[in-house]
Structure 1
Amino acid sequence: MMHPMTQPGLAAAPDSEKTSRASLMDWLSGGGVMGELIRSMDWSATPLGPVESWPQSLRTTVSLCLSSTFPILIAWGPERVQIYNDAYRPICGAKHPQSMGQRFNECWASALPAVGGVVDRAQAGTGSYLENLPMILDRHGYLEEAFMTFSFSPIRDESGNVGGLFHPITETTDKMLSARRTQALQHLAARLGDVKSLAEVGERLSQAAGESVLDLPFLLYYQFDETGRHARLLGGTGLAQDSVARPAELDLGGPDEPCWPLARVLESRRMEPVDLRGRFGAWSCEPYEEPPHQALLIPLQPVGAASPTGCLVAGVSVRRALDESYRAFYELLGSTVTTALTNVRAYEEEQKRAAALAEIDRAKTAFFSNVSHEFRTPLTLMLGPLEDSLADLTEPLSAGQRQRQQLIHRNGLRLLKLVNSLLDFSRIEAGRVQASYRPTDLSQLTVDLASAFESAMAQAGLTYLVTAPALPEPVYVDTDFWEKIVLNLISNAFKFTLKGSVEVWLTPLEGRVRLTVRDTGTGIPEAEMPRLFERFHRVETTRGRTYEGTGIGLALVQELVRLQGGSLRAESVEGLGSAFHVELPFGHAHLDPARIDSREKPLGSQSLSSAFAEEALRWLPDAVESPAAPAPVTTAEPAAPPSRDEGFQFPSRPRILIADDNADMRGYIKSLLQRSSEVRTVEDGEAAYALMPQWMPDLVLSDVMMPRLDGFGLLRKLREDARTRSVPLILLSARAGTEARIEGLQAGADDYLVKPFNAPELLARVESAVRLARERTERERAAGDRVKLEQQLIGIVSHDLRSPISAILMSTQLMLRRMDLDEKTAKMAARIQTSAERANRMIRDLLDFTQARLGGGLRIERAPAALHDIVWHAVEEVKLAHSGREFLLDMDDMPTGEWDADRLSQVIINLVSNAVKYSPAPSPVHIQVRKRPHQALVEVHNGGEPISPALLPLLFEPLQRGGQGVDKAGRSIGLGLYIVDQIVRAHGGSVSVQSTVQSGTTFSVHLPLQV
């Protein structure tokens, strides 16, 4: 850029002319840099002529323009010579200063297609105002996209004609580009929001053609293979399919660099520029005639990926500079596509997990189907001979054998019921269910099924109401399905209703019939309702009569209802009860015609009803427990002692408490143990714990899974209660494996027995637990006796020692009071007194030690006392014994608290005496008492030699002695600091020590303030 004074058309004038000219140009004063430039130019070389000849209208307009802070340009005369102010200068870009005085049409030729018509209208006398008008400007050496908000207004000269144009303007390029790019990114994000695959990402990017071509001339999406050596084009926009700049695949590992050097982003993992000039020869790209000169490689690295998995090749507009805001647009573009790739990655992983779960589910269903089917054969072969044996009148069973076989038969039927439920469910899921829908008297069938529970309901103390009026027409159902629906729902109601009532209603409605089973049971938590009919899901927090169950009953009911074209819903309020509603349509139009049998089916046998009812009876607390003891068990392992088959014998009959919610299991275990033990049984942990204050057992056998309070809950309560903490407990569980056993033992169980177990194993575990418990009790009793004996012995010895020592002290005190003692005798008496006092302290420490170690800690007697008084008196007592030492006492005011004054005085005397003992005579002993939040701090400091670091951790242990520079005569038995620690602990405080060569030794006592 040339200085204004060197521009063509500018010339220097003589001084006299300058003076006269200056007076003529007063109106042109000011105007900043542009005003100075206008004043310095030789306007005679322009169509406007010399400034002195300018008409008043032009002068006034120019003066107004220069004084304004808003960008303004004036185009004057037919040639539209332009004059502008400082604010307009940035719009000119690199055209300034040549643009000053230049013809408007010549300076802004590139913009005339957009603004030419507006300028011509203004020249004709009609003004115009336009907002955010796009145009192409050539002001920085290239054609540039820009946006302007401006007006053109005519300026009348002295003749009344249009002398020029008034052109205020403001540039809105940044605002418009930002809005346009933001909108483009929003549209792209919405377009990619639901993509499910990489191919779909490529398709969506290809569909975005033309949406943002001004900012994004072209866009290519390449996906790397797993090796990172090849890239495949998945989509793109802005380039023709056969364009040389759009290769379908790229070899990134070859010796020659491909047309798009994508390997750069794999190394740098950041955006990389590519110069396109000369890279592709002659090629074209929208939206302008000239192709882009630059592109950006944008890496795509989804969350969870170790390196970029793809790359965007984004063209840069040839008519915009790649400034900071433009680069930010590309970064956001990359982030938008990366987010889509992350979502695709998450979706694909979720699909893989879902497919794996579905495969597991199919395998599980097939397994249940196969296993259930295979179970039925051995069960049939077990139950058939059992039933024959029980019904045999020619060779009747003995009473004991009959009870054993009834136990086996009862539990075999229960196992068959569970197997049938699994088989039914697996058939339904596999679509192999064989249904047969027949017209049925649903009222009579429902009444017959519900009547099976009358005995169980009565024994449980529940009100049982069954209401099933005659229906207007038969209902097409599969009677086996309906039987399982009714029995499962009533059984479920009985299981979770501990008091109140159970009601069964069969109600005809318009076009359908409704079965309702309502109870006043424990109810279902609201959070569990959405999962109520999920298979294998159990409501763990709901209290019932038993913990037993597979979690498929309600799921099976739902499927059986669905197969018959009906609906099932539940409503429940926790603590108040539940209601289950089954609705089936009348007629058979909703059923598979191939499955309809119009013949009425007679009501079937009651075997399934009996199985449900029998199981319900076994849930009652007072259910008859089987007393049958097993026959000897034969195994491949070494046999147990023969005596166990005849009855296990303890030295004395122990009390054994059995907690299990299964009545048969309670009866079986009781029959094994009652020959040699006193046995009681309860149905859950809550009942077991409630029994113990009246009947304390020697051993508890507890099932892990029980209602109300399970085995682990019972174990926790026993261990938390001081009365039952030592009672041994053996857990019984169906959970096998090392982890289950470790879990039980870590919880505090004495043993863990896995079902099924045999009689010898159970008896051996019980014998071992009882014997160990008794041995432990005996050891604890013996240890207690020893403690009492030691306490008594030390007390007697200490008392006997104190008597002669007291006599010695009294005698020496009398001797020292005599005035006629010679010096030698007086010294001997004083030495005797000192030794006796030391022996007395040792005896006191020995008694305290005994109480602390054997009596569970020192006992203190609290009373209101002022801590600073306790400390002051204790220090004064030490002063009397060490009159030659200096003591510095610094105490805060302290509120009266609940302390044992004698014991705390003992602490202070001990610490201060130690400080005197282990520090040189010239150095003072410092005692500080400070009030801290919720506690008092007492510090005793001496400047003597430090305590050995090896001794510090052991300093408060009994029988520890230390301290350099102290002769043997001055050493104690090593109980002083131990007693100090015990006294402070008894007050709920703590004591610590710090000792260094530089600062000496400080003992700190922290005591809680109890005001």
Structure 2
Amino acid sequence: MPADPAVGPDTGSVFAGGGENGRLMAAFDWSTTPVGPVERWPAALRHAVRTVLASRFPMILTWGPRYTQFYNDAYATLIGAKHPAAIGEDLRVTLAEGWAALQEPVEHAMATREASWIPQLLLLLERAGYREETYFTVSHAPAFGDAGEVAGMHAVCTEVTRQVVAERRQRLLHAVSTAAGRREDERDLAVRVCRALDDGLLDVPLAAVYLTGDDGGRLHRAAVTGVDAERLPAVAATAGELATVDVAGLGVPGGPFGDPVTDAVVLPLSGGSGREPVGALLVGVTPNRALDAEYRTFHELLAGQVAGAVVDARAYAAERARAEALAELDRAKTTFFSDVSHELRTPLTLLLAPITDALTDAGGELPPAVRDQLALALRNGQRLKRLVDDLLEFVSIESGRTAAVRVETDLATATAELAGVLRAAAERAGLTLTVDCPPLPRPAAVDPRMWEKVVLNLVANAVKYTFVGGITVSLRAQGDEVVLRVSDTGVGIPAAELPALFERFHRVTDSPARSREGTGLGLALVRELAALHGGTADVESEPGVGSTFTVRLPFGEPDTTAVPLPGTAAVRGAALTPWDDGPTWSDRPAAHDGVLGTVLVVDDNADMRAYLTRLLSPSWTVRTAPDGEEALREVARARPDVVLTDVMMPGVDGFGLLRALRADPGTGAVPVVMLTARAGQEAAVEGFDAGVDDYLAKPFESAELLGRLRAVLERSRGRREPAPPAPAPAPAPAGHPAPRPPRPRDERVTPTVPAPVKSATASATVWRFPSTRASIPPLRRRLRALLADAGLDEDRAYDLVLAACEAATNAVEHAQDPTEPFVDVRVAVDDDAVEIAVRDHGQWRERTASMDRGRGSMLMSAVADVVATPGPDGTTVVIRSPRPSDGGTAA
């Protein structure tokens, strides 16, 4: 139809203001299209084109049955490489790949004259050189001609691809995170992650999780999705090896249109800052989205989710393994305590019963000293029995085998009596004990034996940690509960220690106390016994002010009318106050002038001081002190010849006392002997490093202690005074070796290396053994055989084998960072002497457990001349012994 210039815009104004696309359309030869030249366009088409070009929103207009298209600059960006060829082209040709999705809504709008609204319409576009997955929100409406007929289609659209894809990927990341959860089995976690990825095949068409193993960081396939697992490597040395997988050859379809997946990325699963990766993630790339920055970021976030889940799983598994190991250790410790406690009961019975019988049957006939010693042994045996009973009871409670047997009890009277057991001990400590237990409104149902332990433990604890002031024991009824409070004005407890105070074996470190003795079970037992009654135990404390322990028990109902018999008051007191100097156990001065000299005994246990006083009195003048601080005052008052001190004491302990003595020029030479119950611990090393003269572990033999004190005193006097000439040894009886004169032990003196054996008849044998303890038995066998073949006296051979094996053991244990992991042994035998040289190849070091420090050298020195020569390349120990002449003995 010819155009009517009076109806619509003129030819020149149709494309005016249409931007770049307006200029292109103005220059386009429309006569080659079905709509013909511009001057012949109907007014409706001119108005519609002008409207489209003026809009900044993406718009397209099709006109006529051939769907000739007109569109603006905003729409041109949506079709990418199809522009500008799409101008004047048939829409069905331009968007041929997406027409299947567009045809129905376009034709529906033109046929029914009803506009459509389609959010997030999936369209396949090939605007960037590949089959692209895109999403548009589109509205299609009819375009009317001059006569009101439907002449075309008018569409307004906006691309929402980035929004749709981003939301979809976010949902997938959330699903992966939720599927991972908190799991211990990392392989199960990998399977669940891949199962979650099954719902995200548009972005992850295939995936494989590889995890590192214990074989040097190699990657092991854990889970796969989107492809048969057997088509991927089961193990890979590195992530780079996974990157060489032929993804195209797997034949995996991807994207919404089922196009083949040809690419994949391999992402390391980071183990955290500075840690090795925990695995790798192989992820297929969808063929319908470009691998742009947003896609790579998604991959990184996905790998981060999986890596974090694996790290958490491994940490959780490790934590659970540690917890199980600790639980197993705890069970083993509980079992050990139970077994040991049971095993102790029989010998304790056989110790206590005869002592008790002896004191009961013949106590009046025994000499006072013997009676006191037996009473001392009985008291401490009873204390040990109570500790064993506590251990057994705690083990029984933990295993659920103990239950409270409640009986009606006059709890006020019982509590007052129990607290009174420790009144004498409190008063001797200079404390006031106030017992405030008025009658309760009704009897309480408790287990009397358990209540005894609760009261005695709390009161004894208060006495132990209170130095000034007093202790108050009160009992009140509060509603349906009985409330016991034990308050003191003692040292108090730091706030940081309060949460763990009722845990078994917990000890408050560096807290002043009357004694360091104790098992750490008392307060734990209090809480456990209260819990067995349905009650609680709590504490309030302030350092320097004091503590209040509160036990709450329900009045309860009795279980039986039978009353369990508690222990006697004598046993209770003896078991709970080992530091207390009762009138029976007070230290008594020696009843003589002292034969050897004066010894100062320092120990916080009153019974131990009494025992040592009785033991040493026949030969020493004995003075005593309960701790290191009092000992220093005693030394200042009168310097003793020897100090015999315990290691663990309140206040100034044995090490503190030793350091103080060594730091003072006036007391630096006083010999110090230490006693300790910590055999085999670092205490020995610390003591020797601080300058202790000798060290003895408890329990000890009285003869050994007396001998060591005498030896320490003689060495001390030998250092201070010239040694008198040694008397000539008595001639040895015929047929017996002459006794070897004792050699003073002073390991600080460097001996002279003796000359090696020189004899034409000398024969030398050299062996090399690995530097391990397993080498000692073969050395012993070879050396014994060699010396026997050499015709050496059997006793002399035994001594030399013993000394050589001791030297080899030292070489194994003391050689640090050896240049060669061997111990060399050289044996030379001639008519005059036997010489054994043991050499290691490392630097000398001290063993942790030095309880036997110096004993090896004493042992070797007792049978031969021994010289140790240290050097930068190792230490050589030479053991040389004269060989007896025919018919004689060695001198």
8 Å Cα contact 2:383/2:576 also seen in 1: no
User: CA 1:119–1:410 in structure 2 vs 1: closer, same or farther (change >3 Å)?
Assistant: farther
Between the aligned partners of 2:357 and 2:339, the Cα distance in structure 1 is: 28
Partner of 1:588: 557
CA distance in 1, matches of 2:608, 2:348: 20
Cα deviation digits, residues 232-261 of structure 1 (max 9, x gap): 987666x6xxxxx445xx4xxxxxxxx223
Partners of 2:193 and 2:150 in 1: CA distance: 54
Aligned match of 2:535 = 566
Alignment of 1:920-999 (within 5 A): none
Could you tell me which residue of structure 2 aligns to residue 382 of structure 1?
A: 351
**In the TM superposition, what whole-angstrom CA distance separates every residue of 1:913-950 from its partner, at most 9, and x where no partner exists?**
xxxxxxxxxxxxxxxxxxxxxxxxxxxxxxxxxxxxxx
| Aligned pair partner of 2:466 in 497, 520, 531 | 497
Which has the larger displacement, 436-445 or 55-64? 55-64
Q: Which residue of 2 aligns with 1:450?
A: 419
Structure 2 vs 1, CA of residues 716 and 189 (structure 1 numbering), >3 Å: closer, same or farther?
A: farther
Task: Kindly provide the amino acid, as one letter, of the partner of residue 753 in structure 1.
Answer: L
Q: 1:150 to 1:454 in 2, by over 3 A?
A: same
Larger deviation, residues 416-425 vs 51-60: 51-60
Q: CA offset at residue 407 of structure 1?
A: 2.0
Q: Distance in 2 between matches of 1:649 and 1:118?
A: 125
**Structure 2 counterpart of 1:272, which letter?**
A
Indicate yes or no: 2:599 matched with 1:611.
Answer: no
Alignment-mate amino acid for residue 30 of structure 2: W
Q: Does 1:212 align with 2:203?
A: no
Between Structure 1 and Structure 2, whose CA radius of gyration is higher? 1
Taking structure 2 as the reference length, what is the TM-score of the superposition?
0.68
In structure 2, relative to structure 1, the CA distance for the partners of 1:586 and 1:615 (3 Å cut) is closer
Shift of 1:722: 6.4
Q: Does 1:319 align with 2:294?
A: no
Per the TM alignment, residue 538 of structure 1 is displaced from its structure 2 partner at its CA by 1.0
- TM superposition shift of 1:514: 2.4
Alignment partners' CA distance in 1, 2:51 and 2:659 = 94
2:514 pairs with 1:545? yes
Residue type of the alignment partner of 1:488? N
| Distance across 1 between alignment mates of 2:28 and 2:381 | 117
Say which of 484, 502, 508 aligns to 2:453. Answer: 484
Once the two structures are superposed, residues 249-280 of structure 1 have per-residue CA deviations (whole angstroms, 9 ceiling, x without a partner) of x4xxxxxxxx22344x4443576375555645
1:298-330: per-residue Cα shift (whole Å, max 9, x none)? 676867999988775645434323444324433
Could you tell me which residue of structure 2 aligns to residue 407 of structure 1?
Answer: 376
- Map 1:664-813 onto structure 2 (within 5 A): 664-673=607-616, 679-690=622-633, 693-697=636-640, 699-718=642-661, 728-737=671-680, 739-770=682-713
Counterpart for residue 860 of structure 2: none
1:42 maps onto 2:11 in alignment: no
Corresponding residue SS for 2:623: strand
What does 1:52-451 correspond to in 2, within 5 Å?
A: 72-75=58-61, 77-78=63-64, 81-84=68-71, 88-108=75-95, 110=98, 113=101, 117=105, 135-140=123-128, 142-148=130-136, 171-198=159-186, 200-201=188-189, 204-205=192-193, 208=196, 211-217=199-205, 219=207, 245-246=227-228, 250=230, 259-263=231-235, 265-268=236-239, 272=243, 279=250, 288=257, 292=261, 314-393=283-362, 396-433=365-402, 436-451=405-420
8 Å Cα contact 1:217/1:316 also seen in 2? yes
CA contact (8 A) 1:196 1:347 kept: yes
The answer for the alignment partner of 2:489 in structure 1 is 520
Partner of 1:804: none
TM-score normalised per structure 1:
0.61
Verify the 8 A CA contact 1:403 1:626 in the aligned structure 2.
no
* 1-structure distance, mates of 2:200, 2:366: 94
Letter matched to residue 161 of structure 2 = T
**Equivalents in 1 of 2:240, 2:262: separation in Å?**
23
Change (3 A) 1:105 1:750: farther
Deviation at 1:207?
Answer: 5.5
Deviation, structure 1 residue 221? 5.4
SS in 2 for 1:412: helix
Contact 2:67 2:90 in 1 (8 A): yes
Tell me, in whole angstroms, the C-alpha distance in 2 between the residues paired with 1:73 and 1:727. 107
Question: What is the CA-CA distance between 1:735 and the residue it aligns to?
Answer: 1.3
Change (3 A) 1:423 1:167: same
Query: What percent of counterpart residues are identical?
Result: 41
- Residue type of the alignment partner of 2:574: E
Q: Deviations over 1:513-565 (max 9, x none)?
A: 22222222222221112211211111123222111100111112222222233
Q: Distance in 2 between matches of 1:470 and 1:682?
A: 43
Amino acid at match of 2:366: L
Change (3 A) 1:733 1:138: same
Q: CA 1:476–1:52 in 2, change beyond 3 Å: closer, same or farther?
A: same
Instruction: Answer 1 or 2: higher relative contact order, Cα 8 Å, separation at least 6.
Output: 2
Residue 378 of structure 1 and its aligned partner are, at CA, apart by 1.3
Task: Give the 3 Å change call, closer, same or farther, for CA 225–496 of structure 1 in structure 2.
Answer: closer
Question: Does the 8 Å contact 2:460/2:577 carry over to 1?
Answer: no
Displacement, 1:112?
A: 6.9
- Aligned counterpart, 1:885: none
CA–CA separation in structure 2 for the residues paired with 1:287 and 1:86 = 29
Question: Any gaps of 5 or more consecutive residues in structure 2?
Answer: 1-9, 723-891
Match of 1:963 in 2: none
Does the C-alpha gap of structure 1 residues 267 and 604 become closer, same or farther in structure 2, counting only changes over 3 Å? Answer: closer
Relative distance call for 1:142 and 1:461 in structure 2 (3 A) is: same
Name the structure 2 match of 1:533: 502
Measured at CA, do residues 144 and 719 of structure 1 come closer, stay the same or move farther in structure 2, by a change above 3 Å?
Answer: farther
Q: Which residue matches 2:606?
A: 663
Deviation at 1:76, TM superposition (A): 5.0
Distance 2:382 2:613 in 1: 22
Q: Measure the CA separation in 1 of the matches of 2:363 and 2:527.
A: 47
* Code of the aligned partner of 1:515: L
1:832-843 alignment to 2 at 5 Å? none
Determine the C-alpha separation between the residues in 2 that align with 1:422 and 1:552.
Answer: 8
Q: C-alpha displacement at 1:81, in angstroms?
A: 3.6
Matches within 5 A, 1:20-35: none
Asked if residue 462 in structure 1 is aligned to residue 462 in structure 2, the reply is no
From the superposition, tell whether residues 56 and 750 of structure 1 become closer, same or farther in structure 2 (CA, over 3 Å): farther
How far apart in 1 are the matches of 2:151 and 2:539? 90
CA separation of 1:86 and 1:752: change in aligned 2, threshold 3 A: farther
State the shift of 1:371 in Å. Answer: 1.5
